């Protein structure tokens, strides 16, 4: 059984540990990833990026691929349903800074599913295999993130894991819930274990990891090679230090200030304000008076107002 914090290697890439940040649409921008790395994350993934959006030179799509200069082991997550378009994305200049790409075959959101993308590919094994093979021909290291099925009780984790390996995937990440569960309920550990037993490539387990105890249980129950942290990191990126047993202090105000400083020059005030009101509100979870504090954050209409609200919550900056 893998131990928390041990190195993880796949496709020629060696990671310092096996506790990874999941790709999270709307959250895992470069400033947030930088913060997660500071607390020990072994690898981070971009938000899911549309291969079709890159093909049509969509600037909003390209912005999702922004890297901080300090990022040396971040993978880009792509989604789509056309093998040729996905391969072209892998071979594009946009993906040149990334040594690895991750293919999203698990997103449950209706607008993605209805386009035959994300978790819809669990119902189309031939197309899923074509996509993986096409992306591997680009020369990139390829991982695949998928769910254990579309409906509870109708599981396919082992078969899909084997398909991924046979098509050339270097690693898989298995979310232990079906599409209809969305993000609720206990992961089905047995299905992640079945996927692990079906392949020889590394398997990362995803779903319900909020603490060191959760990570230990996930590794023990599934035999996986590592764990992927999702919502817990949104609530508090310091969770990586906690899971890894690193003695790194958590200063929410310093974290927020750092994210603002990183984001403002690239995204501008409007986007940074919207994003950081949301993130600062997450970081207040469990704090006394958090409901009132969150309300004060969402009432802010400028970065200066946001900083003033933070002064009231945490005290003036030194």
How do residues 188-200 score in pLDDT, each as one tens digit? 999 999 999 999 9
Whether the per-residue pLDDT at 277 is higher than 80: the answer is yes
Q: What is the mean pLDDT of the chain?
A: 96
Whether the per-residue pLDDT at 49 is higher than 70: the answer is yes
What's the whole-number mean pLDDT along residues 174-197?
94
Q: Where are any strands of DSSP class E within the chain?
A: 8-10, 13-15, 19-21, 44-50, 74-79, 100-105, 141-147, 149-151, 154-155, 171-175, 203-206, 226-229
Whether the per-residue pLDDT at 289 is higher than 90: the answer is no
Confidence category of residue 318, pLDDT binned at 50, 70, 90: low
Which 3 state secondary structure label does DSSP give 77? strand
The residue with tokens 């119902």 is 123
Question: Which CATH architecture group holds 8-244?
Answer: Alpha-Beta Barrel (3.20)
Catalytic entry in 44, 90, 107, 135: 107
Residue 36 to residue 46: CA distance in whole angstroms = 12
Express as a percent the part of the chain with pLDDT over 70. Answer: 100
Domain ranges of the chain: 8-244, 252-314
pTM check: above 0.85: yes
Q: Which pLDDT does position 99 carry in this prediction?
A: 81
Question: Greater confidence, 285 or 15?
Answer: 15
Cβ-based neighbours of 183, under 8 Å, separated by 6 or more: 177, 231
CATH assignment, 252-314: 1.10.1200
Confidence category of residue 316, pLDDT binned at 50, 70, 90: confident
107 is known as an active-site residue? yes
């Amino acid at each position: 059984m893998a131990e928390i914090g041990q190195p993880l290697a796949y496709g020629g890439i060696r990671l310092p540990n096996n506790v990874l940040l999941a790709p999270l649409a709307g959250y895992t921008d470069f400033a947030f990833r930088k913060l997660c790395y500071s607390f020990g994350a072994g690898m981070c993934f971009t938000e899911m990026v549309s291969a079709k959006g890159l093909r049509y030179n969509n600037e909003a799509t390209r912005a999702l691929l922004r890297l901080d200069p300090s990022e040396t082991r971040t993978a880009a997550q792509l989604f789509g349903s056309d093998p040729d378009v996905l391969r072209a994305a892998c071979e594009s200049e946009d993906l040149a800074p990334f040594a690895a790409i991750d293919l999203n075959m698990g997103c449950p959101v209706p607008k993605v599913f209805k386009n035959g993308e994300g978790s819809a590919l669990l119902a189309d094994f031939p197309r899923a295999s074509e996509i993986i093979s096409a992306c591997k021909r680009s020369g990139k290291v390829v991982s695949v993130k998928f769910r254990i099925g579309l409906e509870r009780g109708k599981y396919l984790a082992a078969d899909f894991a084997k398909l991924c390996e046979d098509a050339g995937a270097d690693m898989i990440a298995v979310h232990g819930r079906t599409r209809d569960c969305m993000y609720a309920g206990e992961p089905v550990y047995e299905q992640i274990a079945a996927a692990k037993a079906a392949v020889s490539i590394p398997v990362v387990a995803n779903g319900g990891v909020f603490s060191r105890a959760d990570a230990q249980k996930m590794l023990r129950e599934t035999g996986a090679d590592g764990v992927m942290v999702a919502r817990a990191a949104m609530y508090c990126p310091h969770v990586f230090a906690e899971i890894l047993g690193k003695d790194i202090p958590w200063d929410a105000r310093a974290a927020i200030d750092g994210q603002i400083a990183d984001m403002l020059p690239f995204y501008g005030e409007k986007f940074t304000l919207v994003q950081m009101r949301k993130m600062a509100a997450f970081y207040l979870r469990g704090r006394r008076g958090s409901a009132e504090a969150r309300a004060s954050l969402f009432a802010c209409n400028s970065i200066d107002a946001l900083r003033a609200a933070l002064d009231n919550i945490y005290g003036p900056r030194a």
